[in-house]
Structure 1
């Protein structure tokens, strides 16, 4: 006993007395930390420091403050933004014929381009002082999503000038002269911008940009000035074929020291009129049968003055920091908006189609195999919209959370792909055969575009989410890294000493907290609400504690190797992401007033996220290099094993039935899906058939009974069905007329587009009269 007491006293002395602690504990740990600290390039450091830490920091803390999440204001449109949506946006949507845009014109019609310019759709993020709309991220996201539900090509054309590009870079970093000249011209559509970053040798690794600029003297407007001689080769640049002003990223060098002593200045951004001598644009790519303008730009020995650097010469070499800061916000709006549109369209249209399309005398949506896919569409769309809203909430508050937007871009684009795949499976030939009535085909083909751009998803998942999040969001690691990098080693060690003690306490609390929450099933965890969703807060809190523990051990055991162990890092990133998505779903449920009708969707989402978190943890344990520590972590985080399960069949069936029911819930879940009350409309024809068949539900029930009794042939349809039903006294004259109308709508909805010989071969979908349905289509 005396020996035990002595040991306790010695431990207390070591940690309580500063000089002893720093000598025996902090100093050797400090040396080890500096040794295992992962090497970091300038571009990595700038990316790491860009953006803000938001709810992701709470999730990394192991003790998320749920009330803090619920107190975040919902993203809402202003009165001015709502008026724009009700008027200008509504008119634009009515103008778009996506089949004609993609399959015949390969471009937006001139009247659409003119309308976009006139109504300043390209200036949503530009301030009113310069003629822009100055809309919130909520409006930006909503508008792009609604357009995408109608035409991906039109949505991309609108979103790019309102995302990473000259408008945003000028707003944040431009000189007064640059803003005064360019922003009004960008606002009123006089100039169309593009931004050239990606090239043949630099995709995900933007730091490897080979395009270069050399500071030298040259002639500009008849005078000799100090400027930059540029050489570049870029590809995949959206709007480049029609742009009048080119934003360009390149590496800048100063071999003759005309600006200062530094010869390698770094990545720089400049703004160049495409009419400038030596600038080459015009060639187009053909991105998976989409019609948005995307192409190449080249330049050889192009001389520009220094004043064309965005921000002026003071911002030479600061281009990468500018780009990652702007990309952080744009990545949370643009591509997620396209994914959200996919979710809304697939849920609304698949629910309608599954009711309209009948086999064996009943809607195909009543068959369990179809219900399985339908349930996943509805549940996933609920997650998509929840994630969109929560991320937009952060951006509307002025936050720019780089890790959150990376998670949003990656997971929403992947979920967008999933819902479209399920919808295509259910629609079968209806989704495969392209034509004016196909509302899935073009979106399905466009999904890899979103997956690939603004940080390829493989890169984002394996390197960015946890790789950046572990350092940025951890309560102490980034501060410890800065202390270790302090050139004054004594001062750095003293800073490190204070942080180390807090870090040790943090780690200890996570060890015991994880074990306790695991043994108790998180029954005593924190929840800001009661009722059916309370236990989800507690379980997510438990998994948050587990992530904090696993992150600490991973960084301690693997150090700089963790950056190269991408599969390990990706699984930890998946845990963080599913914690964020689960949080988003719970917040949306509260924000919308705890709608009982939404509970199947909430249960689907949270069960899916918790199961995915556990699956990621077990993949992490199974592949962690130190097998003993893997076993220790598994015992601490899952002491009683893994009891999380996938969503049940009953939940999937409840969602699928809900998708086939008209009303408030369906409208709330699919409000981004545009449809027009017309049988000739891409989505409208399905909506009209769905509502008409529901109105005639009792009549169809009567007819099915007559078919079973042998009074009515089961091979009848259309007007013939209505006529025979009237003749046999099964319906009256008014009902027969309504039945004939409904049958016409039904047959159009389940039909697919076909074209007369020569139409496809000669690309003559639209006649001089302009109506393809009269000229070429047989439904």
Structure 2
């Protein structure tokens, strides 16, 4: 019995030391105490003591004495590690080195520091920013009619373009010393979001100059001369920028662009100067048709050695005026009926002086690093914000429509078949907006979140697609017929654009999120890779030794933690003490999943090695686990930041449970398809001995969300905060929103008349709103309602009817009428098109 206890103590001790990732010296002390106790209690003799000391204590001693460990073990391992370590190209290295890691590293490392997240200041706007959002941004929304933009101008209307330039929308990120607005990343996000609830043309036209483009690159890398020339012009809207990166043969693989610039001498403005002969073919370049300055990425080559001995210099970024000889620009693409300016550009053997290179001659060849470092910020703002805006547009309009539209004498928003997608829309929107807020805030606190920005871009656009599709299903026939009264069709058409651009979502999911995360976010992998490449052999050995054995102890720590959490169901995991009590289980689940992700990542890198990046189904699902953890924690952080609003809990629970369920689903997909079946079985046994849980938001939660969406109040207002609110004075799509504000009074009148209806003093309130005014007049004539109530019902009938009607047009869509107007001298885009 004593022998068994002694052995159990050894196993428990090893487990605890692994769990806390104890240093080697702690293992040595523990083994020594264990052996001494066994000898003192006569559980082992002298011979057994010596044997056990050699087997356990001696290795622990070698590991604890670092100089000895480096000499005997690490010095022998390092050459082998250097041989098996996969080679990394310069472009891959630049992508890995770009940006920073923040909360994503905590989630990836298996033991998130919740206080680090919860103590991060909540995003906020200055008084100046709030005023701009409430006034200038509101006015631009009023000018940017989506229907006019798409059906008349095929562009942002001229008045909206002029206003955007004049009020500094194109220079939001430019410092005030250059004439810009110098807004925060969060404010940039809020502007793009609000414009997206009104017009994609307005949102895209504003977001592109403020994200990845000339202004961003100039601020970080431009020469003083370049900054002083271009930034004031960009801030005032005198110059409109675009950035040309995508090549027909290098889409998502942008590092492989074939556009080339040959270093040479040439003539520019009457003088002989060093420069490039550049040939390019670019496509999908947003704002290119109207741009006055072209940012261009090309591969620089120096066959004659004018810059040095290196023939292939690398990707280089330059700024080229639109009117520069040889620049071909102006034609347009037509992306799924979206009308923002987008098109190709090309040039053949165009000479540009070296001064056109962003940053001057010293930055030749540094373009890929520039792009990777700046892309993180833009990707964390532009598409997440625009897709949250479209989701708010959908939720706002569809929930209002569901509340006032009746079928079978019941509001359609009360049908369970409608409640389910409505609840899904609200839950997804809460999570999407939480992700947008946290991603933008990361930039404002000094991060350049390359992995987080990829997570936000991919998952917010994918959830945006779900929200808009659900909205289209609910409004039915009204949604599929184009016209000025259709608030959702353009968003439906444009959702795939966000999924495609700034890195196609398939590539973002399968290559970037886990591919970068596994190296950048891991506490040891990147350090080991750098140690192996360190030319200082002594320093490299010291670093390799420290990080290799740190990595080993990290793996054993995660095995022990996964086993402990698996056996207990994670019930005893510490949640942050200041977190809302009702949500503590989500913090515990996030910690448990983080530990399993860390274990799976190490197992995948060890068992698959360099082949892992080709196993895209595996890396995609591993990336999904990391992404859902980020979305879950963003949801919890938002709830804390907004003051723990009790009425918001259904949204929080739905979003949290959805993220957890998706993470478990991805985890099941990894293990079910894992190439090494023994490894998959080991993880199942250790981390989930009782099976992987099935977690899904309940129908009850969806019903609570659907009710909240159809009820005017603070909860609904918080969810759609930052949206443009349509008014009848500006656009007829405001009819539905105004009718929605009147509907509670209509319901109150109907409820008060129940007895009169039952006693047949008056008929039931008509479902057909065209008959409601007559019904109200009858009720008022019988003294059942007041004149004021009759007027209210008549107004609701008029507006509600406008909201449910579907747009229709002349059989020739007005072609004959417009042609007649043109012939009478009325020259508008419509009449000119008819004449053509």
| C-alpha distance in structure 2 between counterparts of 1:477 and 1:393, whole Å | 27
CA–CA separation in structure 2 for the residues paired with 1:733 and 1:138: 48
Paired with 2:772 and 2:810, the residues of 1 have a C-alpha distance of: 23
Cα shift at 1:5: 4.8
- Which residue of 2 is the match for residue 261 of structure 1? 309
CA apart distance, 1:403: 0.4
Q: Report SS of the residue matched to 1:260.
A: coil
- Conserved? CA contact 2:407–2:767, under 8 Å: no
CA distance in 1, matches of 2:404, 2:828: 26
1:701-754, Cα deviation, whole Å (9 max, x unpaired):
356776676652656523233234345554343322221111111111111111
Corresponding residue for 2:376? 328
Q: Cα deviation per residue 1:126-163 (whole Å; 9 max; x = unaligned)?
A: 11111111111011111111111100011101110001
Q: What is the match of residue 707 of structure 2?
A: 657
Partner of 1:776: none
Residue equivalent to 1:139: 187
2:594 paired with 1:544: yes
C-alpha contact 1:624 1:630 (8 A) present in aligned 2: yes
- Give the structure 2 partner of residue 515 of structure 1: 563
Provide the residue aligned with 1:690 in structure 2.
740
Tell me which structure has the larger Cα radius of gyration. Answer: 2
Question: Which secondary structure state, in structure 2, belongs to the residue aligned with residue 426 of structure 1?
Answer: helix
Change (3 A) 1:700 1:771: farther
Structure 1 counterpart of 2:257, from 198, 204, 209: 209
SS of equivalent residue, structure 2 residue 543: helix
| Structure 2 residue aligned with 1:586 | 636
Q: Does the C-alpha gap of structure 1 residues 304 and 608 become closer, same or farther in structure 2, counting only changes over 3 Å? A: same
- Give the Cα–Cα distance (whole angstroms) in 2 for the partners of residues 767 and 649 of structure 1: 56
Q: Distance in 2 between matches of 1:694 and 1:102?
A: 35
Alpha-carbon deviation of 1:101? 0.6
In the other structure, the counterpart of 2:318 is 270
More divergent stretch after superposition (54-63 vs 714-723): 714-723
With over 3 angstroms needed to count, the CA separation of the structure-2 counterparts of 1:686 and 1:537, relative to structure 1, is: same
RMSD value, Cα: 2.2
Contact 2:484/2:733 (8 A) holds in 1? no
Secondary structure of 2:300 counterpart: strand
Residue 530 of structure 1: how far off its partner (Å) = 4.6
Structure 2 residue aligned with 1:73: 121
Counterpart of 2:269 in structure 1 is 221
Structure 1 residues 450, 530: closer, same or farther in 2, change over 3 A? closer
CA offset at residue 460 of structure 1? Answer: 0.5
Query: The residue matched to 2:582 in structure 1 has which SS?
Result: coil
SS of the residue corresponding to residue 676 of structure 1 reads coil
Q: Rate the CA distance shift 1:14–1:320 in 2: closer, same or farther, 3 A.
A: same
Residue 750 of structure 1 aligns with which residue? 804
Residue in structure 2 matched with residue 775 of structure 1 by the alignment: none
Shift of 1:607: 0.8
Change in CA separation of 1:681 and 1:665 when aligned onto 2, cut-off 3 Å: same
Deviates more, 1:493-502 or 1:157-166: 493-502
1:50-84 Cα deviation digits (max 9, x unpaired):
00010001111211111110111111111111222
In structure 1, the residue matched to 2:19 is: none
SS in 2 for 1:696: helix
Deviation, structure 1 residue 509: 1.1
CA-CA distance at 1:31 after TM superposition? 4.5
Partner SS for 1:321:
helix
- Match for residue 407 of structure 1 among 455, 473, 479: 455
SS of 2:209's equivalent in the other structure is: helix
Residues 446, 720 of structure 1: alpha-carbon distance in 2 compared, 3 angstrom cutoff = same
Aligned pair 1:723/2:774, yes or no?
no
Gaps of 5+ in 1: 773-779
* 2:670 equivalent in structure 1: 620
- Of the three residues 466, 476, 500, the one matched with 2:514 is 466
Structure 2 residue aligned with 1:633: 683
The 8 Å contact of residues 607 and 644 in structure 1, kept in 2 or not, is answered as no
Query: Match of 1:562?
Result: 612
Question: Secondary structure, in 3 states, of the residue corresponding to 2:581?
Answer: coil
SS at 2:380 equivalent: coil
In the TM superposition, residue 757 of structure 1 has moved relative to its aligned partner by: 2.9
- State which of 420, 434, 451 in structure 1 corresponds to 2:499: 451
Give the conservation status (yes or no) of the 8 Å contact 1:99–1:436.
yes
Are 1:712 and 2:763 counterparts?
yes
Residue 149 of structure 2 corresponds to residue 101 of structure 1? yes
What's the counterpart of residue 40 of structure 2?
Answer: none
1:498 to 536, 542, 546: 546
| Maintained 8 Å contact 2:110/2:598 | yes
Q: 1:149 aligns with which of 176, 197, 212?
A: 197
- What's 1:176 paired with? 224
Pick from 388, 402, 416 the counterpart of residue 464 of structure 2. 416
Q: Normalised by the size of structure 2, how large is the TM-score? A: 0.89
Q: Quick one: structure 1 residues 147 and 680, their matched pair in 2 at CA, closer, same or farther if it must change by over 3 Å? A: closer
Alpha-carbon distance, 1:13 to partner: 3.6
**For the Cα contact (< 8 Å) 1:104–1:765, is it kept in 2?**
no
Q: 1:618-650 CA deviation, whole Å, 9 max, x = no partner?
A: 111111111101100111221221224100110
> Between Structure 1 and Structure 2, how many residues are aligned?
772
Structure 1 Cα separation of the partners of residues 719 and 280 of structure 2:
46
Partners in 1 of 2:721 and 2:192 — Cα distance? 13
Aligned with residue 734 of structure 1, among 777, 788, 793: 788
Instruction: Tell me if structure 1 keeps the 8 A contact 2:384–2:457.
Output: yes
Structure 2 gaps of 5+ residues are 1-43, 830-836
CA deviations 1:193-223 (Å, max 9, x no partner) are 1110011111011121111000111111111
Distance 1:243 1:436 in 2: 29
Q: SS of the residue aligned with 1:571?
A: helix
Partner of 1:676 in structure 2?
Answer: 726
Mean Cα deviation higher: 635-644 or 14-23: 14-23
C-alpha displacement at 1:682, in angstroms? 5.0
> Who is 1:777 aligned against?
none
Please state whether the residue corresponding to 1:646 is helix, strand or coil.
Answer: coil
1:60 equivalent in structure 2: 108
Alpha-carbon separation, structure 2, partners of 1:136 and 1:265 = 35
Q: What is the CA-CA distance between 1:691 and the residue it aligns to?
A: 1.2
Q: Judge which range, 711-720 or 326-335, deviates more.
A: 711-720
The answer to whether the 8 A contact 2:148-2:157 is kept is: no
Q: SS where residue 135 of structure 2 aligns?
A: helix
What is the TM-score normalised by the length of structure 1? 0.96
CA contact (8 A) 2:142 2:730 kept: no
Range with bigger deviation, 720-729 or 268-277: 720-729
Q: Is the 8 A contact 1:148 1:341 kept in 2?
A: yes
1:525 paired residue number? 573
